[in-house]
Amino acid sequence: MARRKILLADDSATIQKVVNLTFAGEGIDVVAVGSGGAAMKEFVEAAPDLVLVDVNLPEVDGYKICEMIKQDDETR
């Protein structure tokens, strides 16, 4: 069975650590990024099962990231 993957977009190192520690014991990989631009890139490359996005991010805000995901036919 393939491991599940979460994309976390949050510019707080503390939040990134907490989410990583929370899911590590459950066998879930967390790909953490600190900006909206990096989140958009990783979304395409990592193909996560779940995306957790902070609304206030550098470069591209969380609303725009959600809009991008909703506009993609494969991820609606």
Extents of the domains making up the chain: 6-71
Whole-number average pLDDT of the chain: 93
Per-residue confidence (pLDDT) for residue 73, from 0 to 100:
82
Mean of pLDDT values over 39-64: 94
3-class state of residue 71 by DSSP: helix
State the pTM of this model.
0.89
Mean of pLDDT values over 42-68: 94
Per-residue confidence (pLDDT) for residue 3, from 0 to 100:
87
Beta strand extents in 2-76 (DSSP E only): 4-9, 28-33, 50-53
CB 26 within 8 A of CB 34: no
Q: Does domain 6-71 have CATH number 3.90.950.20?
A: no
Q: Of 49, 46, 41, 45, which Cα lies nearest the Cα of 68?
A: 41
pLDDT exceeds cutoff 70 at 1:
no
Per-residue confidence (pLDDT) for residue 35, from 0 to 100:
96
